[in-house]
Amino acid sequence: MERQILHVDVNNAFLSWTAVEMLKEGSKIDIRQIPAIIGGDESKRSGIVLAKSPKAKEFGIKTAETIYQAKMKCPNIQIYPSNFTIYKKYSNQLYNLLLEYTDKIERFSIDECFLDMTHYLMNDTLLNKGKEINKRVKEELGFTVNVGVAHNKLLAKMASDFTKPDRVHTLFEDEIPTKMWTLPISELFMIGKKTVPKLYNMQIKTIGDLAKTPQNLLIKKFGKHGLMMWEYANGIDKSEVEYKPQKPKGIGNSITLSQNISNIEKLEEILLALTEQVTYRLRKEKMLANVVNVQLRTHDFKDTSHQKKLASSTSSTKEIYAKAKELLNQMYIRGSQIRLIGLRVDNLVDEEQMQISLFTDNKNEKQEKLDKTIDKLKEKYGYNLITRAGKMELDDKIKFKK
């Protein structure tokens, strides 16, 4: 199966996170809109610029130069101290939002993550998920990210480095010649400053030049690093997203529809598919949900969402779908053209922490066995090949009555 990888990179992280924190504390100035930098102790001539605003960039100020040099270029530059407590706070907020999409997340640095979305798209596209994440981070967390969309980590990271800020870029295999090979060799990931002049001496000036250079020539000159450079130049990267499993605070999924839908019964069927995906993840995480949230987006991009508390903590597809369907019917305005529908469960608790009743509900036990049976079938035959039919009137069979 072709891998589905996203790379999420915070734009100008330290300065952006400082700006968001200051605005929350009542500041009337958004330091992203003025000449400003994040730096060390400005009383020391050796203090370094850690981050700069777009306005500061216009004065020629560069990251890693001294604050003294920055002040020479812009005497009125506003200087703010670094604060890793704030950075960690917003980095964790981003990570928790991304956990709603997949539990396979590699925190590559404090401000960037790789996401393996291979088994979490639920018939949606990787590009749509990238766009959704980009939008949600901006609206819910207050800062912007670039998202790279590709089939491996290397290409996803390269894509996220294209035009900034606040962009979503793809870099699929058929796009390598036009989007990547034209770039200077210094833009290729893992090419160090000391290597660039050596490549220039070999008349290798672009990534495309490197891609077309014989492997044996590069191996002879650079050893194993030469083979890696050649593979990267050709978009080859088999490395896995290295993640440490962590329990999500919420699990959700949404789908942008290929065409607007105004039929409530069709929306209910799509909501069922979303519920299956979300509850499958719940059970895999061995967690139970207490709150269900349904989101709708109309053709003119108006978003509405409603949520309700469940009667008890559960991972049951039947119970969560019943509540989600109830919310959908409350929210939906007849005749509305819907372009996106989403489902999210919140207030999650560990299965093990919940006290099991002495009086087991046979129906619930039967439903739980059914859910687990379907989960096993999905794992064996593929997620999209096994699904419940119809609108789920829930008669305790794998395929339900319409």
Active site members? 112
Buried b (16+ CB within 10 A) or exposed e, 198-218: ebeeeebebbbbbbebeeeeb
* Rounded Cα gap, residues 320 and 322, in angstroms: 5
Closest CA to 345 of 99, 27, 18: 99
The CA distance from 201 to 285, in Å, is 53
Other residues' Cβ atoms within 10 Å of the Cβ of residue 291: 15
Tell me the β-bridge partners of 294.
Answer: 306, 343
* Contact status, residue 160 vs residue 113, Cβ threshold 8 Å: no
Q: Which amino acid is at 24?
A: K
Q: Which residue has the tokens 């870099």?
A: 171
Distance from the Cα of residue 255 to its chain's centroid: 15
Amino acid code (one letter) for 313: S
Nearest in space to 103 (alpha carbons), one of 121, 90, 116, 122: 116
Q: Quote the CA–CA distance of 206 and 349 in Å, as a whole number.
A: 52
CA distances to 62, 174, 222, 268 from 194, in Å: 20, 30, 12, 58
**DSSP one-letter code for 181:** T
* Contact (Cβ atoms closer than 8 angstroms) between residue 188 and residue 218: no
Cβ contact 147:8 at 8 Å:
yes
Q: Which amino acid is at 68?
A: Y
How far apart CA 149 and CA 131 sit, in angstroms, is 10
